[in-house]
Amino acid sequence: MSSSTTNIESVLHEERVFPPAASFSEAAHISSPADYERLRAEAADAPEEFWARMAGELHWFKKWDTVLKWDAPHAEWFAGGKTNVSYNCLDRHLETWRRNKAAIIWEGEPGEQRTLTYLQLHREVCRFANVLRRMGVREGDRVALYLPLVPELAIAMLACARIGATHSIIFGGFSATAIIDRVNDAGCRVVVTADGGWRRGAEVKLKETVDEALKGTPTVEHCIVVRRTGSRVNMTAGRDHWWHELAETVSADCPAAELDSEHPLFILYTSGTTGKPKGILHTTAGYLLWAHLTTKWVFDLKDEDTYWCTADIGWVTGHSYVVYGPLSNGATTLMYEGAPNWPEPDRFWRIIERHRVNIFYTAPTAIRAFIKWGEQWVSKHDLSSLRLLGTVGEPINPEAWMWYREVVGGGRCPIVDTWWQTETGGIMISPLPGATPTKPGSATKPLPGIEVDIMTKTGEAVTAAGQGGYLVIKRPWPSMLRTIWGDDARYREAYWSEIDGVYFAGDGARRDRDGYYWIMGRVDDVINVSGHRLGTMEIESALVSHEAVAEAAVVARPDELKGSGIVAFVTLEGSRETSDALKEELRRHVAKEIGALARPDEIRFTDALPKTRSGKIMRRLLREIASSGAVSGDTTTLEDFSVLEKLRAQEEE
Ligand code: WT7
């Protein structure tokens, strides 16, 4: 680690402040604290006028009648308006000089490169939209996309948006069981996949996984397969079709459908505290407006920028900040298929140098890995093209923030630490890089138009500086989730019932004397592993589905690299013996049921789990045992103390 970062660990109370450089501010879209305050005040004083003015940045086939209809907790934004996300991301740029500007620059993990201009991308999107129509897909139908990070994924998204089909992207690391749950919940008619993709030099056989999944998905009529790796796959006659063969049979002309503002754009599944994953529903106009504005404001995006968000499109970050936000702004967005350490730990820096990337957006978990791999991998590349850095997914520790600033940003690039969620659709709390002085570890302040606060469980505002509480959002915003697909009761319950009248984000936070927000992490039983949310409940269900397991409780423990590691406490069926082989088998079982992401780092067998008298597992105690080996918290509600004794004794073994 560089000498500039060795003293950071000792800074317990973060006092450092980094104002943007004057040269950065002067050229920025929003260039001073006063500009920011003006926008904020405008939005707070007359929200509907503010949003109406902002919506003027999009193309409308027909203007809206009403900016917001709010029948809590249901919002309709820009009702009566007609627009199309694909049109906004493509067609409108074709009328400008951008028609031959690079829209997507793509690198495959093995090293291939492809560039698609706006004109070329438009043509591919139109073709695939016609392919989907030929497969019988109509407005409102759902299409599942299970693909590697290849241009065809962006093409398929935009093609769905073009004809009003609702896409549901399933991260390529998920298992067949996870696909079945998601495809059935949404009732998808078509699945788009690839033969495989590349990850750390190995082929991920996506089509094989889909073949297994499609045995359990009665609504799927067709499966369209991108040829990516060229390896052999089984094609079921009548059901499976090659993308490139279908694309040859259709025209490259496909006018964008004029869709209602509230037309469903996509469903994206995310973990909740209980039960199956929640299908978060986002709609057309409001989502696009906020993706568009936040990309422009937070990344200070200019036409000459080459912009790279490293997220997989299987997560919301990829939806909003690899595809929709950048393309709506007419930007050049970079996509890289593979791992950051393939073939060597400098792949990202190599890409930045090769393509002269100006804006780079990644996750704290990646930054911690870079720190571990060593500064030498970074410093051997010329990163002088970078002018702005961003992070998302989990709290970033100040020492990682400083390393990012010094080693990657050369001390000259502002860092935007962006807080948001799958549910919020776009960034909610973040510095504006030309206006907001930053503090390492703080996401700083809410964006204009966003009203956040910190509250107690009973809904009182926490006003004292530095005091922790629940992060809430007090006003509807255009890109808010509209509901949970097929389960509106759960929507009300999960987000609008915890604290009366406000959106409950599930994160703890505090606000300092300067009004800066510091996110403290999840307050519910959701584990954030490498910036991805996993419900403890899902992992527990996967464990219990194994015939040897009677009961399981899953908790997080701090992990230097991943943010959180997963520890599973497991009780076995009466006749079963504990063994290391069984531990391995259970870890594998979870990976198969959900995906490798959810594989427990550690399995601990126990005779019983600590429970309250009403039978609730006391995860808080297990969390303490998993992270420190001891229990210091309140145990008065514990039913059977001997359980704790045994768990502790086991720890000492
Ligand atoms: C949860 C949302 C939003 C895209 C990636 C994750 C945590 C997100 C930050 C940040 C601290 C953060 C929160 C949030 N989170 N960004 N900048 N600082 N925590 O999307 O899977 O919906 O997860 O990620 O806990 O609730 P997601």
Name all domains of the chain by residue range, CATH numbers in brackets.
Answer: 526-652 (3.30.300.30)
Least-confidence region, from 521-530, 551-560, 597-606: 521-530
Q: Count Cα neighbours of 523 within 13 Å in the Cβ-side half-sphere.
A: 19
pLDDT in tens, 327-376: 999 999 999 999 999 999 999 999 999 999 999 999 998 998 999 999 99
**pLDDT value at residue 1:** 32
Q: Do residues 495 and 504 touch, judged by C-beta distance below 8 A?
A: yes
Q: Could you give the CA distance from residue 98 to residue 89 in angstroms, rounded to a whole number?
A: 12
| Residue % of the chain over a pLDDT of 70 | 96
**pLDDT value at residue 95:** 96
pLDDT in tens, 258-297: 999 999 999 999 987 666 889 999 999 999 999 999 999 9
**pLDDT value at residue 6:** 30
Mean pLDDT of the chain: 93
CA distances from 540 to 116, 183, 268, 608 (A): 44, 22, 22, 15
Q: What band does 650 get if pLDDT is binned at 50, 70 and 90? A: low
The residues, ordered by sequence, that sit 6+ positions from 450 with a Cβ below 8 Å of its Cβ are 428, 429, 473, 475, 477
pLDDT in tens, 82-117: 999 999 999 999 999 999 999 999 999 999 999 999
- Rounded to 5 degrees, what angle do the CA atoms 305, 310, 313 make? 110
CA distances from 131 to 124, 156, 244 (A): 10, 10, 10
Q: What band does 562 get if pLDDT is binned at 50, 70 and 90? A: confident
Q: What SS3 class is residue 540?
A: helix
DSSP 321-342: IIIIHHHHTT-EEEEE-S-TTS
Q: Count Cα neighbours of 67 within 13 Å in the Cβ-side half-sphere.
A: 15
Q: Which atom of ligand 1 is nearest to the CA of 420?
A: 3
Q: Is the CB of 420 under 6 A from ligand 1?
A: yes
Q: Is the CB of 415 under 6 A from ligand 1?
A: no
Q: How far is the CA of 521 from the centre of ligand 1 (A)?
A: 8
**How is residue 112 annotated by DSSP?**
-
**pLDDT value at residue 651:** 55
Q: Which atom of ligand 1 is nearest to the CA of 506?
A: 26
Query: Which residue's C-alpha comes closest to atom 1 of ligand 1?
Result: 421
- Rounded-to-10 torsion of CA 190, 191, 195, 201: 160
Q: Is the CB of 421 under 6 A from ligand 1?
A: yes
Q: How far is the CA of 503 from the centre of ligand 1 (A)?
A: 15
**pLDDT value at residue 637:** 66
Sign for the pseudo-dihedral over CA of 542, 337, 387, 371: positive
Q: Do residues 75 and 68 touch, judged by C-beta distance below 8 A?
A: yes
pLDDT in tens, 165-217: 999 999 999 999 999 999 999 999 999 999 999 999 999 999 999 999 999 99
Query: Which residue's C-alpha comes closest to atom 20 of ligand 1?
Result: 421
Q: Is the pLDDT of residue 636 over 70?
A: no
**pLDDT value at residue 614:** 67
The pick from 269, 295, 419, 520 for probing ligand 1's pocket by mutation, whose C-beta has the most ligand atoms within 8 angstroms, reads 419
382 or 563, which is more confident?
Answer: 382
Q: Is the pLDDT of residue 4 over 80?
A: no
Q: Could you give the CA distance from residue 277 to residue 118 in angstroms, rounded to a whole number?
A: 35
Q: Could you give the CA distance from residue 431 to residue 443 in angstroms, rounded to a whole number?
A: 7
φ/ψ of 407, rounded to 5, equals -80, -45
Largest alpha-carbon pair distance within the chain? Answer: 73
**pLDDT value at residue 296:** 98
Q: Could you give the CA distance from residue 467 to residue 456 in angstroms, rounded to a whole number?
A: 10
CB neighbourhood size of 62 (10 A): 12
Q: Could you give the CA distance from residue 589 to residue 598 in angstroms, rounded to a whole number?
A: 10
Q: Do residues 195 and 225 touch, judged by C-beta distance below 8 A?
A: yes
Q: Which atom of ligand 1 is nearest to the CA of 531?
A: 6
Q: What band does 7 get if pLDDT is binned at 50, 70 and 90? A: very low
Q: Is the pLDDT of residue 644 over 80?
A: no
Q: Is the CB of 600 under 6 A from ligand 1?
A: no
pLDDT in tens, 123-155: 999 999 999 999 999 999 999 999 999 999 999
Extract the tokens encoding 558.
């701090």
**CA 304, chain centre distance (Å):** 26
* DSSP H or E stretch at residue 366: helix 364-373
Of 391, 307, 407, the C-alpha closest to 352 is 307
Residue 148 burial class via C-beta count within 10 angstroms: exposed 0-12, middle 13-18, buried 19 and up:
buried
Q: Is the CB of 564 under 6 A from ligand 1?
A: no
Q: Is the CB of 177 under 6 A from ligand 1?
A: no
Q: What SS3 class is residue 246?
A: helix
Q: Do residues 276 and 185 touch, judged by C-beta distance below 8 A?
A: yes
**pLDDT value at residue 13:** 65
Residue 584 burial class via C-beta count within 10 angstroms: exposed 0-12, middle 13-18, buried 19 and up:
exposed
Q: Do residues 343 and 201 touch, judged by C-beta distance below 8 A?
A: yes
The pick from 507, 525, 532 for probing ligand 1's pocket by mutation, whose C-beta has the most ligand atoms within 8 angstroms, reads 507
Q: What is the pTM of this model?
A: 0.91
Q: Could you give the CA distance from residue 615 to residue 609 in angstroms, rounded to a whole number?
A: 10
Q: How far is the CA of 133 from the centre of ligand 1 (A)?
A: 36
Q: Is the CB of 519 under 6 A from ligand 1?
A: yes
Q: Is the CB of 417 under 6 A from ligand 1?
A: yes
Q: Is the CB of 528 under 6 A from ligand 1?
A: yes
Q: Is the pLDDT of residue 12 over 70?
A: no
